[in-house]
Amino acid sequence: MPVFSYKAIDSQGHETTEEITMPSRKDVIDQLISRKLSPISVEEQNPSTGHSSSRRFSRPGRVSKSDVDAFTRELSKLLSAGVPLSRSINILSREAASEAAKKQWSDIRDSLSDGSTLADSIARFPQSFSDVYVAMVRAGETGGFLDQVLNQIADFRAREQRLIGTVKTAMIYPVILAVLGTAILAFLMTYFIPKFVPIFEEFGGSLPFLTLIIVGASDIVKQYGLIILIAVIMTIIGLRRALALEEGRRVFERIVLALPVIGRIVANFALVRFSRMLGTLTGAGVPLVTALKVSNESIGNQTLSDTVNQAIKKVQNGAALASSMAVCPKLFPPSVIEMISVSEESGGVDQGLVHIASSYEETLDRELSALVAMVEPALLFLMAIAVAVIILGMLLPIFSLQELIH
């Protein structure tokens, strides 16, 4: 009989890791649920090596976000209609729009046939299913409301894509302006002004100070342009590598959160995701501590997530949710703490959290619209200043040249 190692969380939020002998992975999960444990992972041990073994899957091509969105929404509908999970995914694999999606959904179906949970099956494809996605699916499987969770995930993804699309659309014109302005300035500094300098020097005059600065900058760009470009590329690569490290990412997150407008938008976005997910999970009957841990994974900002971990420890020790969340003022302002407190007193925490999410989602939309509206005139202003300085630097020698001619 195979041996399985499992990791699970009890109702108090304490994590347990043990080995158990059972006929199949499904029996292990049923056993854990009967003991009021929420399984996180269940892996079969390889008898010869003692290491967990998992079925190897071939790597299909990259699955697009639209394919994952369609998979999530359609699977939710099929499960709501009473279609068994394995059969639902079999249907989706047959109807997949791309070969990559068809192959990946088939692999997930095969994994389910081997006794794996849906969460474990999709976790094998991190490029398609994020950690937050997997955590929500695991909570839905444990609580018996997988169809609701999948529908909620689909809504989350639709909101985020709509938000990202709005920002991208609004930024098209400013980016075009910035590119064109940079190209014009580069042409003036590297071609037009250097052509004009020898003409002025023939008359024996000295260039104005502003023009000298512009010409000096032009010479630097012409002589060291390639070195500057390489330095910029190396800096970008270095920053990307630093952000890939946990400490570097934390430093970047702290800097972003400290910014006047952007920091508040990032915090509000995390609040919306956290509140909506926590409200959905608690409303579906998931234990509060487990729901808090799953919701914390959805924040997407490790700095904010660390503060929420402190609040979770307080809840585990018996503190109220509102007073525990008060340790995270950047994420939960006083008004939110007050709303959570009132919801706790009335016994409708789940509804209160969803209401908070909806309210701050509207606030987030307004803040993003205002930010994007500020970017365009700011870019135009900066470009106007740069062009004005270049034009002035070109006109000053002309005025001096007229004096020399007379």
pLDDT tier for residue 400 given thresholds of 50, 70 and 90: low
pLDDT tier for residue 51 given thresholds of 50, 70 and 90: very low
DSSP-derived secondary structure letter, 15: E
Mean of pLDDT values over 389-406: 68
Q: pLDDT tens-digit profile of 148-207? A: 888 878 887 887 777 677 667 767 777 787 788 778 777 777 777 677 767 666 655 566
Amino acid identity at 363: T
CATH architecture of 162-406: Up-down Bundle (1.20)
Q: What is the pLDDT of residue 61?
A: 56
Mean of pLDDT values over 125-142: 80
* Site of tokens 């300098």: 197
Q: What is the pLDDT of residue 231?
A: 92
Residue 190 or residue 47, greater confidence: 190
Mean of pLDDT values over 331-339: 88
Residue 49 or residue 353, greater confidence: 353
Q: pLDDT tens-digit profile of 202-245? A: 655 566 788 778 778 877 877 887 898 899 899 999 988 888 88
Q: Give the range among 98-102, 301-305, 324-328 with minimum mean pLDDT.
A: 301-305
Q: What is the pLDDT of residue 235?
A: 92
DSSP-derived secondary structure letter, 188: I
- Looking at 84-204, list the stretches that DSSP marks H as alpha helix, in order from N- to C-terminal side: 85-94, 99-113, 118-122, 131-143, 146-187, 193-201
Q: pLDDT tens-digit profile of 256-297? A: 888 888 888 888 888 888 888 788 778 777 778 888 887 887
16 neighbors 41 (Cβ within 8 angstroms) = no
Report the distance separating Cα 276 and Cα 133, nearest Å.
14
Q: What is the pTM of this model?
A: 0.64
- Residue 10: how many other CB atoms lie within 10 Å: 16
Residue 88 has pLDDT above 80, yes or no: yes
Q: What is the pLDDT of residue 230?
A: 92
Report the distance separating Cα 1 and Cα 4, nearest Å.
10
Report the distance separating Cα 158 and Cα 152, nearest Å.
10
Residue 54 has pLDDT above 70, yes or no: no
